[in-house]
C-alpha cells in the first residue's frame, strides 16, 4: 500500500484562482458535516423526549436515585409505563384511591364545618348560670355542660 492511498485532501474544493480541485470531495465533506450535526440534534431531541416522559410520569429528576433509574430504564417511554416502574422502584408513591363514600363523608364534614362557623352562638354557660332561678335548674345546667364536654369548674 502506498502513502497516497490514505491521503486526505483538506481542500474545501476552492483554490485562490476560484477553480476547485475536487468539487465532489468538497460537497461530500459538507454533507458529512450536516449529517453529524443532524445526528447530534436527533440525539438531543431523543434525550429531551425521554426526560419529558419521566417528568410526565411524576419522577423527580433531581433525586439521586431517579438519575440511576432514568439511566437504566429500558421499558416503554410512555408516562403510564414509567410510572408503574417508578412505583415498583419506590421512587414515587402510588396514587391513593378514595372511594365515593369517603368523598361524600368529607364533603358532608366540610359542609357541617362551614355551617358551624356562620351559625349564631348559643347562650353562654355563664349567662345561663347567672339567670338560673333555682338550685335544681343550676344542677341541670352543670349536668348539660358536663354531657357536652364543657368544664365549668
Following CA atoms 68, 74, 79, 82 in sequence, which dihedral angle do they give, to the nearest 10 degrees?
-60
pLDDT tens sequence across 36-48: 999 999 999 998 9
Ramachandran area for residue 13 (φ above 0: left; ψ -120 to 50: alpha; else beta): left
Is the pTM here over 0.75, yes or no? no
Domain boundaries, the chain: 1-96, 100-147
Query: How does pLDDT run across 91-147, given as a tens digit for each residue?
Result: 888 877 778 888 888 888 888 887 655 545 556 878 888 888 898 988 888 888 888
Amino acid at each position: 500500500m502506498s502513502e497516497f492511498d490514505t491521503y486526505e485532501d483538506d481542500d474545501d474544493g476552492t483554490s485562490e484562482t476560484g477553480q476547485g480541485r475536487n468539487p465532489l470531495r468538497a460537497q461530500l465533506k459538507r454533507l458529512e458535516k450536516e449529517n453529524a450535526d443532524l445526528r447530534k440534534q436527533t440525539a438531543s431531541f431523543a434525550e429531551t423526549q425521554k426526560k419529558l416522559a419521566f417528568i410526565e410520569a411524576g419522577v423527580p429528576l433531581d433525586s439521586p436515585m431517579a438519575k440511576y433509574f432514568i439511566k437504566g430504564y429500558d421499558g416503554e417511554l410512555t408516562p403510564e409505563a414509567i410510572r408503574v416502574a417508578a412505583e415498583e422502584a419506590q421512587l414515587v408513591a402510588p396514587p391513593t384511591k378514595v372511594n365515593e363514600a369517603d368523598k361524600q363523608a368529607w364533603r358532608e364534614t366540610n359542609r357541617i364545618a362551614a355551617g358551624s362557623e356562620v351559625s349564631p352562638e348559643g347562650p353562654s354557660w355563664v349567662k345561663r348560670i347567672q339567670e338560673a332561678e333555682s338550685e335544681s335548674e343550676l344542677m341541670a345546667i352543670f349536668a348539660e355542660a358536663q354531657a357536652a364536654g364543657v368544664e365549668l369548674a
